[in-house]
Amino acid sequence: MARLAQTHGLTDVQQEILSTVRDFVDKEIIPVATELEHRDEYPQEIVDGLKELGVFGLMIPEEYGGLGESLLTYALCVEEIARGWMSVSGIINTHFIVAYMLKQHGTQEQKEYFLPRMAAGETRGAFSMSEPALGSDVSAITSKAVKDGDEYVLNGQKMWLTNGGTSNLVAVLVRSDEGHPEGTAPHKSMTTFLVEKEPGFGEVRPGLTIPGKIDKMGYKGVDTTELIMDGLRIPANRVLGGVTGRGFYQMMDGVEVGRVNVAARGCGVAQRAFELGVSYAQQRHTFGKPIAQHQAIQFKLAEMATKVEAAHAMMVNAARKKDSGERNDLEAGMAKYLASEYCKEVVEDAFRIHGGYGFSKEYEIERLYREAPMLLIGEGTAEIQKMIIGRRLLEEYRFQG
């Protein structure tokens, strides 16, 4: 039987990369993921292995030491990795968004300085928009940068920083009123700063504190933190792109590719849930036969597999659209929305197929059940995706009467 979620039209190079990553996932991630997750342990060996495979530089151009691959290749790798353990895809995701933002918007000096280090995995990126009082409403950001000579002084508190502790480069979005008179639209008075820091917790640079890991329901292993700026001084040449007031657009561009990425993670987790469900259903017997022979369970499997296929197709479509140079916010929003919702449903069905054992920590599905909800929230909730989709539809189907 053909495996689910096949992608047609891949080049030999893409196929080779994917089969290498899949092999790594089967041998190095799946066997240890649940144990590490239960201990909330950072998967250092896995990260080192992915560095060696070049995954941290997958989309970074070859001239900066990366593999120069497409968003599609990247998303398909993320799908494979999330199939093994969603947290590992989270370790790569913020790094990838920051590298993408640098590639698209950085000054030549910033690209030359950061991208080769990022391709090697020496510099590891995190990005920070959310604050304690806001996530969806980015325009309400209150953290602020004020110019002081050749530097900016940053103050404020950030929240939900994935890889906040383990990264050494954070792209931070703050309000910067300099040059933007009062009354300027919020999205035109924001700036992205490239903040270098030591990895770890506590005061990691004068004026910058990473307090500690937030204790989460799932998505363990990867660290998620707060970030406190108290008189943090950043040189003017660390404004992304060299010009203030463009941060909102730069971040939204980053989040757009991030959405394809989250869709890919949803696809990977759903695939694993299907694999676990279809396997268990053939082993567990009730009323004299394997439960897979009861039509109700077969119907569940059919629904699950259909959702896996549909989500994969939409994710691939969104990635290909971006790779072709076209705007893909509609496709990325739809793919993220559908893949994360389907992921939650497929995981729940696989959980139900496991009966009481699904509730036991001995079974992998227990971990997936705690991981799937994160995908409903990260890179914009379902409501935010629907707002984007709705707005774009009204642009495309404008009433001409």
| Structure tokens that stand for 265 in this block | 């993670």
From 79-87, 130-138, 257-265, 356-364, span contacting ligand FAD (CB under 6 A): 130-138
Of 37, 79, 226, 379, which residue is the catalytic one? 379
Note whether 215 binds ligand FAD by CB under 6 A. Answer: no
Note whether 258 binds ligand FAD by CB under 6 A. Answer: no
Annotated catalytic, 379? Answer: yes
Q: How far apart are CA 117 and CA 228, in angstroms?
A: 25
From 16-24, 108-116, 128-136, 322-330, span contacting ligand FAD (CB under 6 A): 128-136
Note whether 335 binds ligand FAD by CB under 6 A. Answer: no
Q: 125-128 and 169-175: which strand pairing?
A: parallel
Q: How far apart are CA 393 and CA 330, in angstroms?
A: 8
Tell me how crowded residue 322 is: count the other CB atoms within 10 A of its CB: 21
Q: 151-162 and 125-128: which strand pairing?
A: unpaired
Q: Which is nearer to ligand FAD, 308 or 334 (CB)?
A: 334
Q: What does 177-188 look like in DSSP terms, one character per residue?
A: -TTS-TT--GGG
Candidate residues 219, 274, 342, 351; the one interacting with ligand FAD per rule CB under 6 A: 219
90-119 residues near ligand FAD, rule: CB under 6 A: 94
Candidate residues 129, 170, 269, 319; the one interacting with ligand FAD per rule CB under 6 A: 129
Residue nearest to ligand FAD (CB): 135
Q: How far apart are CA 132 and CA 129, in angstroms?
A: 10
Candidate residues 130, 143, 191, 192; the one interacting with ligand FAD per rule CB under 6 A: 130
Name the minimum Å distance from CB 250 to ligand FAD: 13
- Over the range 87-110, which residues count as b (16 or more CB within 10 Å of their CB) and which as e? bbbbbbbbbbbbbbbbbebbbeeb
Contact 352, 365 (CB under 8 A): no
Candidate residues 136, 237, 298, 360; the one interacting with ligand FAD per rule CB under 6 A: 136
Q: How far apart are CA 137 and CA 121, in angstroms?
A: 32
Note whether 89 binds ligand FAD by CB under 6 A. Answer: no
Q: Which residues form the catalytic set?
A: 379
Interacting residue ranges for ligand FAD, rule: CB under 6 A = 94, 127-130, 134-137, 160-162, 216, 219, 224, 374, 377-378, 380-381, 383-384
